[in-house]
Structures are given as structure tokens and as C-alpha cells.
Amino acid sequence: MATKPLTDAALEKALTDLPGWSIQEGELTKSFKGPRSVVPGLYAAVAAAEDEADHHARITILYGTITFGLNTHDAGGAITAKDTAMAARIEALAAEHGVQTQP
């Protein structure tokens, strides 16, 4: 997959397809909240997906809140299609694990 930065238009379109995801401090990011007991399972599932894709998020966990931050080091820290693809994968895994968008 290309590691070129997304154009502004492509990024805008991607964000409309990824509800709750936004750009903060140079990362495509979203926080989810759920019962604390489901967070380790979601983390493990995302870690497996990341290894499969060879693309890794910054992940922070605080009690039942898990936050993902994505950018592409190989593109100088820009947001690329690798990030939006991984965000979509995380979104699906989050839904499967019963966590909700953290307002």
C-alpha cells in the first residue's frame, strides 16, 4: 500500500467514513470506552491486526478507556491510506468487543 500522505480531500473523505476519528497532534485518533474487562481482549485483537498489516498504532489505556493514534513513520509522520485502513480495522474490532465511542 502506498505510503504517500493523503491529500486534504482524501483525508476529509476518510474522516467522514470513520465517525469519531479525528486528527489530533498529527495522529488519526479515537478513544473508546467500555467495561474495563473487555479492554485487554480488544488490545490483543488490535495488536494481531497491526502485526498482520505491519502497521502499528500508539495505544494508551486508562481504566476502561482505550485510545488509538495512527500516523505513518515511513511517510514522515503523515496520515496515509495505511492509517485509515487500520482505523477501519480498529473500528470493526472495537464494535466486536463491545466498546463505545468515548464522547
State the nearest-atom distance from the C-beta of 70 to ligand H2B, in Å: 6
Which amino acid appears at position 17 of this protein? D
From the list 82, 100, 103, 86, the residue with the least C-alpha distance to 5 is 82
Identify the residue among 22, 74, 96, 101 touching ligand H2B (CB under 6 A): 74
Ramachandran angles phi, psi of 73, nearest 5°: -60, -40
- Residues numbered 39-68 forming contacts with ligand H2B, rule: CB under 6 A: 54-56
Cell of 15: 474522516
State the nearest-atom distance from the C-beta of 2 to ligand H2B, in Å: 12
Which stretches of the chain bind ligand H2B, using CB under 6 A?
A: 54-56, 70, 72-74
